[in-house]
Amino acid sequence: MAKKSYIQAITDGLDILLDEDPKTLIFGEDVGKNGGVFRTTQGLQEKYGEDRVFDTPLAESGILGLAVGLGLTGWRPIPEIQFMGFTFEAIDSIAGQMARMRFRFGGQKNSPVTIRTPFGGGTHTAEMHADNLENFFTGVPGLRVVTASNPYDAKGLIISAVENNDPVLFMENLKLYRSMKDDIPDEKYTVPLDTAKVVREGTDVTIVAYSAEVNESLTVAEKLAKENISAEVIDLRSLSPIDTDTIFASVEKTHKVVVVQEAQKMAGVGAVVASEISEHAIMSLDAPIARVAAPNSVYPFAQAENVWIPNADDIEVKVRETLSY
């Protein structure tokens, strides 16, 4: 057990995966000697050799096409796309190819790829280096989309993602990379791939969030607790599929819900959560479903992102509105 950052927790998970399964391969731009631009694969090439951990030419479609082909020949690829904005270059390899392989071959062939990629923002990067494309990828049938809100889950989730035989998009939050540390067990453990987690129990209102917004939501919950308001916070962890059972159970208890996401409000994860609740649990509600999301602009230039990204204050406003409905 040691205190580890989100990055170190993922490195830990990758180390275990490389050690346990000789068929796992890590590749991408700068993942070898350089250990990745965020050092997430640091030391892994040195430990497992260039056959297992290797650099690729600079072409995202090529990287993920390579992954599909390696998967078809019995390998378990863990490619890295350096920034989520770069996945636009590889949409066909993801949505047109790897997500369809099992379906195309009726289960006879598949390509068990886990794509790791940093997403989110708040770190003042260049354009296309901060993005919330989960709205986009959760619309791809056959692709699992997961993301952790803390280092502990990050390690357990990456292990589950790679060990699962479905293609998984594993989104790593840029802002959380170095900003929080957890006690991380040295040994292997897993976090389930399609189960949300109640990270704080409460009885007055449910806040559904994922990734960095879980921490913002917890800040709000702690503040409200001082006023004897009891907020329950759910971390989705899996954005596709969404664990609706956990959400419904919570809503049936609290009768009020606020759905939070960092991504733009349009056509996305929060919209699915809200529509599932209205379809299946609306009679449990005492107030309209509230939503906190970024506005429908292109992901902002660095100077405006701190206003654009929903924070604890934005969540608090919506929670209070919902409570006083």
Partner 1 sequence: MAKDSKKVVDFAAIKADLGKDFKPVQILDNDAKVVNKELMATFSDEQLVDFMKKLVWERALHEQTMNFSRQGRLGFYAPTLGEEASEMGTVSAFKENDFLLPAYRDLPQLIQHGATVAEGYLWSRGHVLGNQFKARAIMPQIIIGAQMVETAGVALGLKKNGEDAVAFSYTGDGGTSQGDTYEGMNFAGAYEAPAVFIIQNNGYAISVPRPKQTAAVTLAQKAVAAGIPSVQVDGMDILACYAVAKEARDFAAAGNGPVMIETLTYRFGAHSSAGDDPSRYRTKEEEQPWFENDPLIRMRKYLTDKGQWSQETEDAYVEECKNSFKDALKDADAVAPEKVTDMLKNTFEVPTPDIAKQIAEFEEKESK
Residues classed as catalytic: 129
> Which residues, 165 to 224, sit near partner 1 by CB under 8 A?
165-166, 194
Q: Is 66 exposed, middle or buried (0-12, 13-18, 19+ CB in 10 A)?
A: buried
Please tell me whether residue 51 binds partner 1 under the rule CB under 8 A.
Answer: yes
Q: Greatest CA separation found in the chain? A: 60
> How far out from the chain centre does Cα 91 lie?
18
Binding mask 90-129 for partner 1 (x = CB under 8 A): --xx--xx----xxxxxxxxx-------------------
How near is the Cβ of 259 to partner 1 at its closest, in Å? 17
- The tokens for 212 are 């960095």
Total binding residues toward partner 1, as defined by CB under 8 A: 44
Please tell me whether residue 65 binds partner 1 under the rule CB under 8 A.
Answer: yes
- The tokens for 139 are 């619309």
Q: Is 194 exposed, middle or buried (0-12, 13-18, 19+ CB in 10 A)?
A: middle
Task: Say if residues 44 and 14 touch (Cβ distance below 8 Å).
Answer: yes
- The tokens for 208 are 């559904």
H runs (alpha helix) in 90-243: 91, 101-104, 134-137, 151-163, 212-225
Please tell me whether residue 61 binds partner 1 under the rule CB under 8 A.
Answer: yes
Using the rule CB under 8 A, give the single segment among 11-19, 73-81, 218-226, 282-290 that binds partner 1: 73-81
Q: Which is nearer to partner 1, 125 or 164 (CB)?
A: 164
Please tell me whether residue 279 binds partner 1 under the rule CB under 8 A.
Answer: no
Q: Of these, 14, 68, 236, 260, which contacts partner 1 (CB under 8 A)? A: 68
Q: Of these, 46, 245, 252, 321, which contacts partner 1 (CB under 8 A)? A: 245
Question: Exposure string (b/e) for 77-98, b if CB count within 10 Å is 16 or more?
Answer: bbbbbbbbbbbeebbebbbebb
Please tell me whether residue 59 binds partner 1 under the rule CB under 8 A.
Answer: yes
Please tell me whether residue 49 binds partner 1 under the rule CB under 8 A.
Answer: no
> How far out from the chain centre does Cα 63 lie?
21
- The tokens for 280 are 């299946």
Please tell me whether residue 67 binds partner 1 under the rule CB under 8 A.
Answer: yes
Using the rule CB under 8 A, give the single segment among 160-168, 201-209, 214-222, 256-264 that binds partner 1: 160-168
Using the rule CB under 8 A, give the single segment among 33-41, 128-136, 139-147, 297-305 that binds partner 1: 139-147
Question: Exposure string (b/e) for 23-37, b if CB count within 10 Å is 16 or more?
Answer: ebbbbbbbbbeebbb
Q: Which is nearer to partner 1, 82 or 215 (CB)?
A: 82
Please tell me whether residue 141 binds partner 1 under the rule CB under 8 A.
Answer: yes
How near is the Cβ of 130 to partner 1 at its closest, in Å? 25
Q: Of these, 21, 34, 43, 69, which contacts partner 1 (CB under 8 A)? A: 69
How near is the Cβ of 244 to partner 1 at its closest, in Å? 7
Question: Exposure string (b/e) for 249-270, b if CB count within 10 Å is 16 or more?
Answer: ebbeebbbbbbbbbbbbeebbb
Residues that bind partner 1 (CB under 8 A): 25, 51, 56-57, 59, 61-62, 64-75, 92-93, 96-97, 102-110, 141-142, 144, 164-166, 194, 241-245
